[in-house]
Amino acid sequence: MPRAPAKTFNIVILSCVVILLAFSVLMIYSATNSVEYRALYKAFYLRQILWAVLGLGVMFVVSYINYSTWIEIADKLYWFTVVLLILLLFFRGSMRWFHIGPFTFQPSELAKFTMPLALSRFIIDNKGKAEVLEGLIKIGIMTAIPLVLIIIQPDLGTGLVFIPLFFCLLYIGGVSIRYLGYLITLMAIFAPVYYFTLMKSYQKNRLLSFLNPESDPLGNGYSIIQSKIAVGSGSIFGKGFMKGTQSQLNFVPEHHTDFIFAVVGEEMGFLLVFILLLAYLMLILEGLKIAMHAKDKAGMLLASGVVSLLTAQLFMNIGMTIGILPVVGVPLPLLSYGGSSLLFTMALIGILLNVHSSIKRSSS
């Protein structure tokens, strides 16, 4: 098992991760310090500290494992994830997680870890074949199986993040723009069918409320309206830590998970939001740099996949918080409360770090 010497460790990524985790603990502490959460608020932020520490441990351990090892076991991880999603569907119904003692585990978060590995493995093993119709059909089915199982939980938001991952890895894998255009056209044709036959009524209402939230200000448009008020009222310098009215008085729902960005915007203001977004930007740019300089196709695909997932979740979460995208329930990476999401995100960053280490070792 090749190790990553300290001199090859990426200090930029580590710094960004630590900054974002610190933001996470502070914002969750503030978001859960209202009367509604008063009896439990210590548990929330203390648990997030626990997840952050465990997550850092997972990141370091994964960063010491050669990424080729993950490619080798990608198929097994993929089918293990699919089995868990099927078991969740049959034994938990519309629930999205398994209960393990006092903790919960979301297989959909595991899928975020396994899908970049599995898709990268398929593209590498089917070099040349993934670029023709037969290969595209196979990789499409491979992506669709966990995506469909996640969407019918229902968890539309998590399912949607696999779509940019799918197209990103196909493009990096060498599929022509023409074929990608055909796939996008096919999805556009299928979208109305999905809307009228498969989309649940509350999901339709969310979409309609996104287009006009004021049409149902106390119902489906409530989350968007309150979140926009929170972010906008923070202005340049914010209202101050634990002084946000929208969050402290619980006007913004799920403000320690999906809408944590609204708490940051209201209490910390534009200046600290800028620092937060700068940390995300540096993390993404460093990931792209690693992908560009990877020593082989596997490293390039994995690094690109990690960056794609992080970027998609970041864009979707902030987009729904400020009202430019529908509310789909996607956590903000490294910031939202949640153990499964944080641990598997840190594992993905660990793979990114290992790809970086391999670049440094090969150039030294």
Each domain of the chain, given as residue ranges in start order, spans 6-363
Q: Residue 1 pLDDT more than 60?
A: no
pLDDT one-digit tens code per residue, 253-296 = 888 888 999 999 999 989 999 999 999 999 999 999 999 999 99
What is the pLDDT at residue 132? 63
Per-residue pLDDT averaged across 82-88, rounded?
91
> How far is it, in rounded angstroms, from Cα 293 to Cα 63?
17
pLDDT one-digit tens code per residue, 311-321 = 999 999 999 99
Under a CB-based contact definition with an 8 Å cutoff, are residues 261 and 324 in contact? no
What is the pLDDT at residue 293? 93
What is the pLDDT at residue 263? 92
- Listed residue (69, 164, 178, 78) closest to 119, CA to CA: 78
> How far is it, in rounded angstroms, from Cα 93 to Cα 301?
34
Q: What is the pTM of this model?
A: 0.90
Per-residue pLDDT averaged across 184-212, rounded?
77
Q: Residue 81 pLDDT more than 90?
A: yes
357 CB neighbour count, 10 Å cutoff: 23
What is the pLDDT at residue 3? 46
Under a CB-based contact definition with an 8 Å cutoff, are residues 240 and 263 in contact? no
Residues 119, 125, 131, 137, CA torsion sign: negative
What is the pLDDT at residue 219? 73
pLDDT one-digit tens code per residue, 333-364 = 999 998 889 999 999 999 999 999 988 777 66
pLDDT one-digit tens code per residue, 86-116 = 988 887 655 677 767 667 778 899 999 999 9
- Block residue for tokens 């649940």: 200
Q: How does the average pLDDT of the chain come out, rounded?
A: 86
- Block residue for tokens 């998609």: 312
Cα→Cα distances 217→43, 100, 220, 283, 324, Å = 32, 38, 7, 37, 17
Looking at the chain, the whole-number percentage of residues with pLDDT higher than 90 is 47
> How far is it, in rounded angstroms, from Cα 306 to Cα 309?
5
130: confidence class by pLDDT, cuts 50, 70, 90: low
What is the pLDDT at residue 93? 58
What is the pLDDT at residue 4? 43
pLDDT one-digit tens code per residue, 297-307 = 999 999 999 99
Under a CB-based contact definition with an 8 Å cutoff, are residues 45 and 69 in contact? no
pLDDT one-digit tens code per residue, 49-80 = 999 999 999 999 999 999 999 999 999 999 99
pLDDT one-digit tens code per residue, 222-240 = 888 888 899 988 888 889 8
2: confidence class by pLDDT, cuts 50, 70, 90: very low
Per-residue pLDDT averaged across 140-150, rounded?
91
